[in-house]
Structure 1
Amino acid sequence: MRCVKIYDTTLRDGTQAEEFNLSLGDKIRIARKLDQIGVHYIEGGWPGANPKDNDFFLEIRNYALNNSRITAFGSTHHKDNPPEQDPNLLTLIASQAPVITIFGKSSVFQVKEVLRTTRERNLELIRNSLAFLKPHVEELIYDAEHFFDGFRDDPVYALQTLEAANQGGAACLVLCDTNGGTVTSNLIEIIKTVQERFPGVPLGIHAHNDAEMAVANSIAAVELGCEQVQGTINGFGERCGNANLCSIIPSIKLKLGLDCITDQQLTRLCETSRFVTELANLRHNRYLPYVGRSAFAHKGGMHAAAVLRNPRAYEHIDPELVGNERHIPVSELSGKGSIILKAREFGLELSRTDPVVEDTLKKIKQLEHQGFQFEGAEASLELLLREALGQRKKYFQLLGFRVIDQKVAEDEPPIPEATIRVHVGGNEVHTAAIGKGPVNALDKALLKALTRFYPRLAEMRLEDYKVRVLPDSEGTGGTVRVLIESADNDSRWGTVGVSFDIIEASWQALVDSINYKLFKDEQQSD
């Protein structure tokens, strides 16, 4: 079976995305994760561009990679330097990377306006750079920058640049849609022309996503016979991003039936996608194809019921193939099928004739009419279901709380203080706490009261806190919805509260979060 080589440039091109930053340690961890999923090439950076990239090529030598080859990236030599004296090329060799990728200009516009040299000199730069590097490296790849734009402007010259790279000894000619604006039909015709000119020469594709076509263009190139696909995890990259390998890899394997990584490695794709996002300290995009949390979500009641009977009704693949899972959000659009599927996720078996299903569905629709939302608050939903089944335990009882936000001077921050009385374990407990804001003060006071009775609450932390003024509300006097995401050492969960009073809405979500943590711990200990 034909094998398509996967070339990942997350550690270089991906880091050009806004707000996407990685430490040296992050880059090493991501490289090892990419190796685990069978990526063939890992572009570690541009040696000499910054100290972090230099350190990466030194540090990665300490790790044995089983599947991937580390690749160093750079440019052709400077127009005023001979290749043997060019700092860029010498630094590439010094990196000791087994694979080197260099880029050169394919566009006459780029040659004149960016390099500020002649067409002939640019061809020499490409040919001479590759010829100089070839004896010093195991494999040499050429990225034809701006190739598709250059071809449209001057096809003869664009092909001449590829000829220079081929003469210089490149093992693969990678055609780059650097500005990301090439439509697929145009890309196909250009690749066919290249194949006619260079029969038998391995080609690759490097697409950007400025016209939302990077994945489609990459797949089209593979269908035409390109042997290498370059991209990044989750499509991270400059401007609108690079081609998303998390879409390309499963499409190559599951849609085209071609080899690229193993079935087992494919099951770790979702994990890898979220791992990279987490290390970059970003929120994972739930709407990503294949690997997003919503990729296999079925919100509509009719859809959920159909999936319950046969997943093929509304799923193009089995989510487990890429390490994802089916998700049935419950909302006012839900039907009985959604409730049954969601209950099953919680370990509860219900039938369509069970009165709990109908009662819960009515309750959810009433609550959502009031402003509640359970799509991001599944812990609150599970507690609601278990309450309907008589399985919800009361771990404590509120006797009262008071929150004071005192500001003593105009240029001083307010001092929030919360006092609370609860009945727990046969005792009445009265505590107080000062926090960073009134909700934090209330949270700290409640945990202070409960932790002596439930020590594992000390593991719990608040990961995210969102407040939204609901539509049709009366400005500052309107209804608000609070969504809280909490976590401990094992998992994350979301809870919700709604009220015209932001403290009350926060209290509802906090109480659900604590109750869910206590319930979860109790289940694990049984």
Structure 2
Amino acid sequence: MANSVKIFDTTLRDGTQGEGVSLSVEDKLKIAQKLDALGVHYIEGGWPGSNGKDIEFFHRVKELKLAHAKVTAFGSTRRKDTKAEDDPNLNKILESGVKVATIFGKSWDFHVHKAIQTTLEENLAMIYDSVRFLKNSGLEVIYDAEHFFDGYKNNPDYALQTIRQAEAAGADWIVLCDTNGGSLPGEIGDIVAEVVREVSRPIGIHAHNDCELGVANSLAAVAAGARQVQGTINGYGERCGNANLCSVIPNLQLKMGFSCIADEQLAALTPVARYVSEIANMHMPVGQPFVGNAAFAHKGGIHVSAILRHPKTYEHIAPELVGNKQRVLVSELAGQSNLIVKAEELKLDFDKNNPKVKSVIERVKELEHQGYQFEGADASLELLLREALEGLEEVFTLESFKIIVEKSAGRAVVTEAIVKVKVHGETMFTAAEGNGPVNALDVALRKALMPYYPDIQQVHLTDYKVRVFDEKDTTAAKVRVLIETADLETSWNTVGVSENIIEASWNALADSIRYALIGRTRVEHKEQQPERLGLVNH
């Protein structure tokens, strides 16, 4: 179809060349399944000639029975002055068992002379022989013309000769690579249009993001006639990354009218992006377009008031199209509309004529002035709103806590927390050791609550962040602590602020536990032995 664009994902190969990205074989298999469900057409699994991990991946990926994607192995053209059938890398591609091979060759005469140090004629023969060998072996062949745009700008005649060799040898796709990521969209569009006129094979684009133009260059190439886009989920890749498919796909499909994946698959884009970031253990920017947590978040009161009338006032697409959702943030910039929307999300009765509304807004602004940040702590905000509107049962109140940190020569630091809280009218006194003061406080508080709320065992801290502001006050500066907590079904975030990091941590921790206990069934407390309460063996 003329308006169809094939998506080639190279997260498992090019994406892993990004700093901090490391995927095990198990990780790559899990991601491959998600990519297949997303509907991508090609999954580049790795370079079987370079390492054992990729060889194992190609062996095991056959067991997945992918429904949509073709798995492709990566490699280079044959070595200079050898025969293609004797080249170990090309034979590794055959041994991997894939039906699609992706090989790269040199397009830039500068690289021919300096990188592989051979003649221009031998480079052309390397391209032809390698593609022909793989085609004769029954494979679909995608030829990546490395550094094509730099090569074309330096010596257009030779750059075109290289891809004509791939065409003559039977390549199924010719992909033009902006390997250094230094080209501009206008250049990309003009050069791709010229290649489309000169070459009969379908053209693809492989853009890097060194000028923050990987997505723009990919779109420009498609507008000029390219019909395959190579990129990675979340833009992972070497140096500044590759073209981000999480932006490329929705722009092509929702803005430019090209068909890439099915609508229901597009609606899975945000979950896939977040899944890959978790597997890769990479922080996902909240402001990442389309799939970021803040991509459809509204903070200013005027904006929120407008989207209540119609989302199109401040949203360029419906977030559900890409599997995301609208969010309303509450902060010192908030107006009444923000809190009304947030209350509606929580199914709270929040009549804008209610005099409590103004007091809650003022309270939020006051707390944010002190350093609280509710846009990243929805659970603390919910507790604040519920307390103001409905009142909350005080499941526990702090009477005191004490932290003891001991460091002896040759021994690890030992941290102990002693907590005294009142739970439903009964004073509970517990102690616990932990890996640091916050962990010790957390364990000791749970011991106090366990007799009343046994399933508190299912709740655990998953993230802990400290932000120092008023740096000029140095060690006396105020700090903000953000805690993420999870149970078997969901997660939530809470915040605490103080000049004392332990107090700020306790405030956030206490909110996280209070939030966990909302709606949980309390059991009748029966007298416990001291060991159960942590008083003896802790």
TM interval, short-chain normalised: over 0.9
Find the counterpart in structure 1 of residue 8 from structure 2: 7
- Rounded to whole Å, the distance in 2 between the matches of 1:522 and 1:380 is 21
- Percent of pairs identical after alignment? 53
1:63-94 CA distances to partner (integer Å, 9 max, x unpaired)? 21111111111100111320111111111111
Once residues 304 and 270 of structure 1 are traced to their aligned partners in structure 2, the CA distance between those partners, rounded to angstroms, is: 23
Q: Deviations over 1:203-260 (max 9, x none)?
A: 0000000001110010111111211000000000000000000000011110011111
> Do the aligned partners of 1:99 and 1:137 also contact (CA within 8 Å) in 2?
no
List alignment gaps of at least 5 residues for structure 2: 523-538
CA contact (8 A) 1:298 1:327 kept: yes
Query: Compared with structure 1, are the counterparts of its residues 473 and 432 closer, same or farther at alpha carbon in structure 2 (3 Å cutoff)?
Result: farther
Q: Is the 8 A contact 1:340 1:349 kept in 2?
A: no
The alpha carbon displacement at 1:359 in A equals 1.4
- 1:18-33 equivalence runs, <5 A: 18-33=19-34
Q: Give the secondary structure class of the aligned counterpart of 1:509.
A: helix
CA distance in 2: counterparts of 1:137 and 1:349, whole angstroms: 67
1:425: Cα distance to partner?
A: 3.9
Deviations 1:450-483 (CA, angstroms, capped at 9, x unpaired): 1222112111111111122222662212221111
SS of 2:368's equivalent in the other structure is: helix
**Contact 2:453–2:521 (CA under 8 A) maintained in structure 1:** no
Structure 1 position 302 matched with structure 2 position 302: yes
1:21 and 1:520, CA in 2 relative to 1: closer, same or farther beyond 3 A?
farther
Aligned 8 A contact 2:186 2:220 in 1: no
Task: Please give the residue correspondences for 1:270-285 in structure 2 after superposition, counting only pairs within 5 Å.
Answer: 270-285=270-285
Q: What is the match of residue 215 of structure 1?
A: 215
Secondary structure of the equivalent of 1:330?
A: coil
Give the secondary structure class of the aligned counterpart of 1:445: helix
Q: 1:152 to 1:521 in 2, by over 3 A?
A: farther
TM-score normalised by L of structure 1: 0.97
- Structure 2-normalised TM-score? 0.95
User: 419-428 or 64-73, which moves further after superposition?
Assistant: 419-428
Q: What corresponds to 1:53 in structure 2?
A: 54
User: Which residue is 2:482 aligned to?
Assistant: 483
Q: What secondary structure sits across from 1:238 in the alignment?
A: coil
Q: Residues of 1 paired with 2:465 and 2:357: CA distance? A: 29
**Secondary structure at the residue paired with 1:474?**
helix
Q: 1:187 to 1:416 in 2, by over 3 A?
A: same
1:367-516 mapped onto 2 (5 Å cutoff): 367-409=367-409, 412-471=411-470, 474-516=473-515
Residues of 2 paired with 1:216 and 1:354: CA distance? Answer: 49
Equivalent residue number for residue 77 of structure 2: 76
What is the CA distance between 1:383 and its match in structure 2?
A: 0.2
CA distance in 2 between counterparts of 1:65 and 1:311 reads: 37
Aligned equivalents of 1:18, 1:326: Cα separation in 2:
31
CA gap 1:171/1:388 in 2 versus in 1, 3 angstroms: same
Contact 1:93 1:137 in 2 (8 A): no
- Find the aligned partners of 2:90 and 2:477 in 1 and give their Cα distance: 63
Per-residue CA deviations over 1:390-409 (Å, capped at 9, x if unaligned) read: 24221112222111223344
Quote the offset at 1:522 in angstroms.
Answer: 5.5
CA distance in structure 2 between the aligned counterparts of 1:521 and 1:139, rounded to whole angstroms: 57
1:19-40: per-residue Cα shift (whole Å, max 9, x none)?
Answer: 1111101111111111101100
d(CA) in 2 for partners of 1:272, 1:155: 40
TM-fit CA distance, 1:353: 1.8
TM-fit CA distance, 1:357: 2.1
User: Within 1, Cα distance between the matches of 2:352 and 2:472?
Assistant: 36
CA contact (8 A) 1:7 1:41 kept: yes
Give the whole-Å Cα distance in 2 for the aligned partners of 1:373 and 1:501. Answer: 17
Match of 2:90 in 1: 89
Q: Distance in 2 between matches of 1:214 and 1:137?
A: 33
The farther-off stretch of 348-357 and 507-516 is 348-357
For 2:73, the aligned partner's letter is A
Q: Which residue of 2 aligns with 1:254?
A: 254
Distance 1:388 1:42 in 2: 52
2: distance between equivalents of 1:273 and 1:493? Answer: 20
Q: 1:106 to 1:522 in 2, by over 3 A?
A: farther
Deviations 1:258-304 (A, max 9, x none): 11100000010000000111011122221110000010011111111
Instruction: Give deviations 1:105-161, integer Å, cap 9, x for gaps.
Output: 000111111111000000000001001110223411100000000111111100000
Contact 2:297 2:326 in 1 (8 A): yes
- Opposite residue 220 of structure 1, the aligned amino acid is A
What residue is the counterpart of 1:167 in the other structure? 168
User: Which secondary structure state, in structure 1, belongs to the residue aligned with residue 297 of structure 2?
Assistant: coil
> Which range is displaced more, 456-465 or 32-41?
456-465
CA distance in 1, matches of 2:460, 2:362: 32
Which residue in 1 is equivalent to 2:533? none
**AA paired with 2:85?**
E
| Separation in structure 2 between the aligned mates of residue 343 and residue 473 of structure 1, nearest angstrom | 37
Match of 2:118 in 1: 117
Tell me which residue corresponds to 1:191.
Answer: 192
Counterpart residue type for residue 503 of structure 1: I
